[in-house]
Amino acid sequence: MKIVCRCEDISEEDIVKAIDEYGCETLAELKQLLRLGMGHCQGRTCLILAAKILARKTGKSIQEIMPSFRPPVVPVDIGLIGGENEE
Amino acid sequence: MKNEADVVVIGGGINGCAIAYELAKRGKDIIVVERKWLAYGATGRCGAGIRQQWATKENAMLAKKSVEIFEGLSEELGYDIGLRQGGYLIAIHDEEGMKQAKKNVEMQRSIGLPVRIIGEDEIKEIAPILSPEGMEAIAATFCPTDGHANPFKTTYAYAMAAKKLGAEIYKFTEVKDIKVEEGKVKKVITNRGEIKTKYVVNAAGAWSREIGKMVGLEMPNKPVRKEAMVTEPLKRMFDCMVISFKHGIYFSQQDEGQILGGIPSPEEKVGYHTEPTFSFLKHMAHMLGKYAPSLKHVSILRQWTGFYDVTPDALPILGETSIEGFIQCNGFSGHGFMIAPMTARLLAQLICGEKIDMDISRLNMDRFKGEITEEKAVVG
């Protein structure tokens, strides 16, 4: 078994199955169904790997299947942004 | 692509997919057209909550009936929808809030909802993470059968079940025009071809008003950018959704452990704006720190935006219009997910000429010609 997304524990087989069973054509759809790239690393490791699997299976280009990126770029503490981290 | 259907549903969100399923179940030939992918719009960006504690009877009834359907939905559709009924805890901040809460609870109990008013001690019992002091709460209302479901799983469950019953779902298919002849719907024109039909369901969420224009209807809906955020996953700490009408905040802990929530942004805008703002993140983090002080040490992973499809009275627009065959299913104003199961069933009954389980004539678009009663129990 090849692990693609380490944060959410998703394998290549999971991705191939989602593409075959649900007809996923974009990374956004894989995110919705599998939580691919939604873990602590923000998809830095897995999204490009998953994009390659999708491109291979659907014949689409990488550009067509990349999702939107959502801030913040790195995880930030709530207390730091909210301005009340006394400790 | 097929070129004919009994009903063309515009929009592959929760409502479009649920209607497709309910109609396909009744033997209708259905095509769903979606400009992007399933749950691309409000459904896939929502807070996932299922609340029955509404101030208007219409919303409370739609939500109550929907919960009854949600409870058996995984089994009915054959796919897990991730339902969890951990309740909704609604903060009460002052005497005025208490008066409104008592009024709401009385109406809600009269339709059979197990809602009650709880004190500060019980707030802490139900969700030990909360600080009534930080929340500035003197009490709360709590309904244990409210809860949460996974919007993606629920949408896909409806879509897959509809497909099994013969419905066609076309993604990346944009509606360009709708042909009307002698006041009747005739044809839907898309970027991938034309579909002959007698019925169109306008379930396009924030883009519904653009679809309305295609048949000459001026709709009062406005797209309003709303923002949400999610933290890293944590071990389970509380089961309920926490909300406040005064602060507009909502947050809950999802199945995977992450805290997901939103609050009205200081830069809230009407129009098709999709950029997330830092001022939202700052405001949300500040308020979360007050409501649940221990969360200050938790990291935020993501923020995003979506649209509320807002009507002047914050109630949905449902049912027939002056154009024969053009059915409205929009204007959900931020709570389309939680009432979708019942809404879909009622509209399917309407289209099929069956006896309708609940009178929804007051939610017709014509109501905006007269005086309106506004739903005030809105958050996010």
Which CATH number belongs to the domain containing residue B334 in this structure? Answer: 3.50.50.60
Does B338 fall in a domain? Answer: yes
Q: Give the domain-ending residue among B310, B325, B356.
A: B310
**Residue at B73 is within a domain:** no
CATH number at residue B253: 3.30.9.10
Strand segments (E) across chain B:
7-10, 30-33, 49-50, 88-92, 116-118, 139-143, 147-148, 168-170, 175-181, 184-190, 193-196, 199-202, 222-233, 241-243, 250-253, 258-262, 299-310, 317-319, 326-330
- Answer yes or no: is B56 within a domain: no
**What pLDDT does residue B299 have?**
95
Q: B-chain residues within 8 Å CB-CB of A72? A: 281, 300-303
Considering the domain architecture, whether residues B352 and B229 belong to the same structural domain is answered as no
Contact between chains at B152 and A70 (C-beta distance less than 8 A): no
Residues B128-151, mean pLDDT to the nearest whole number? 98
Query: With bands split at pLDDT 50, 70 and 90, how would you rate the model's confidence at A87?
Result: very low
Is residue B16, in this structure, part of any structural domain at all? yes
**Count of structural domains, chain B:** 2
Q: Do B134 and B170 have their domain in common?
A: no
Residues B296 and B342 in one domain: no
Distance between CA atoms of residues B178 and B172, nearest Å: 17
Whether B188 and B283 map to the same domain: the answer is no
| Nearest C-alpha in B relative to A83 | B286
Q: Encode B97-136: b = buried (16+ Cβ within 10 Å), e = exposed.
A: beeebeebbebbeeeebebeebebebbeebbebbbbeebe
Q: B318 and B207 share a domain?
A: yes
What residues make up the domain containing B334?
7-46+152-220+313-369
How does DSSP assign B147-194, residue by residue? EE--HHHHHHHHHHHHHHTT-EEESS--EEEEEEETTEEEEEEETTEE
Task: Say yes or no: B11 and B135 in one domain.
Answer: no
Q: Do A70 and B281 touch (CB under 8 A)?
A: no
Q: Is the pLDDT of residue B194 over 90?
A: yes
User: Is residue B80 assigned to a domain?
Assistant: no
* ipTM score of complex: 0.88
pLDDT confidence of residue A84: 62
User: CA–CA separation, B18 vs B7, rounded Å?
Assistant: 13
Cβ–Cβ under 8 Å, residues B347 and B357:
no
Instruction: Walk me through the domains of chain A, giving residue ranges and CATH numbers.
Output: 3-82 (1.10.10.1100)
Residue B355 gets which letter from DSSP? P
As given in the structure block, the two tokens for residue A82 are 């909210």
Domain boundary among B265, B285, B310: B310
Over residues B348-357, the mean pLDDT reads 98
The verdict on B12 and B96 lying in the same domain is: no
The whole-number average pLDDT for the span A22-28 is 92
Residue A40 has its nearest CB partner, among B171, B232, B286, at B232
Judge whether residue B30 has pLDDT over 50: yes
* Percent of chain B's residues with pLDDT above 70: 100
pLDDT band for B370, please (50, 70, 90 cuts): confident
If asked whether residues B129 and B160 sit together in one domain, one would say: no
**Residues of chain B with a CB closer than 8 angstroms to some CB in chain A:** 37-40, 44, 152-153, 156, 160, 171-172, 231-233, 256, 276, 281-282, 285-290, 295-304
Tell me if residue B320 falls in helix, strand or coil: coil
- Please answer yes or no on whether A29 and B288 come within 8 Å at the CB atom: no
**Residue B291 and residue B187 share a domain:** no
Decide if B61 is inside a domain.
no
Nearest to B156 among A22, A72, A85 (CB): A22
Helix (H, G, I), strand (E, B) or coil at B332: coil
Q: What is the pLDDT of residue B128?
A: 97
Residue A77 with chain B: CB contacts under 8 Å: 296-300
Helical (H) or strand (E) element with B341:
helix B336-351
